[in-house]
């Protein structure tokens, strides 16, 4: 049992990283980790995730046709400081709580 407690953190993304913010977004919007995403793999290898040349920052996210729904928390993809493109088309009902501080 102790061994499993030490290994569990290795299977998820580190807090306050692009991988953490994307995984939190997907999970909070209703996508389970078993659907198309291996959250223990580097974020730049995930389907629909596009990173800069150094593979340090997420610059694009395409989650179209992913059946996402709910309010988009600003504490998830809103924290992706280098994000340039976001594709959310053909999902369920999505609600933006705050856009550009308005």
What are the boundaries of each domain within the chain?
Answer: 41-102
Q: Is 87 in contact with 58 (CB distance < 8 Å)?
A: no
Residue 12 has a pLDDT of: 58
Separation CA 75–CA 12 (nearest Å): 17
List, as own/partner pairs, every contact residues 81-85 make where C-beta atoms lie below 8 angstroms and the sequence separation is at least 24, other chains included: 81/57, 82/18, 82/52, 82/57, 82/58, 83/58, 83/59, 84/59, 84/60, 85/50, 85/59, 85/60, 85/61
SS3 95: strand
Average pLDDT, the chain: 80
Residue 66 has a pLDDT of: 87
DSSP 85: E
Highest mean pLDDT among 18-22, 89-93, 95-99: 18-22
The more confidently predicted of residues 40 and 57 is 57
Q: What's the pTM?
A: 0.77
Highest mean pLDDT among 9-13, 42-46, 93-97: 42-46
Taking residues 3-30, report their average pLDDT.
71
Residue 89 has a pLDDT of: 92
């Amino acid at each position: 049992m102790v061994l499993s407690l030490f290994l569990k953190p290795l299977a998820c993304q580190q807090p306050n990283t692009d991988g953490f913010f994307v995984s939190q977004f997907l999970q909070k919007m209703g996508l389970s980790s078993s659907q198309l995403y291996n959250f223990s793999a580097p974020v730049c290898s995930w389907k629909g995730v596009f990173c800069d040349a150094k593979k340090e920052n997420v610059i694009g996210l395409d989650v179209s046709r992913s059946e996402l729904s709910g309010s988009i928390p600003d504490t998830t993809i809103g924290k992706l400081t280098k994000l340039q493109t976001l594709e959310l088309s053909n999902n369920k009902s999505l609600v933006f709580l705050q856009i550009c501080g308005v």
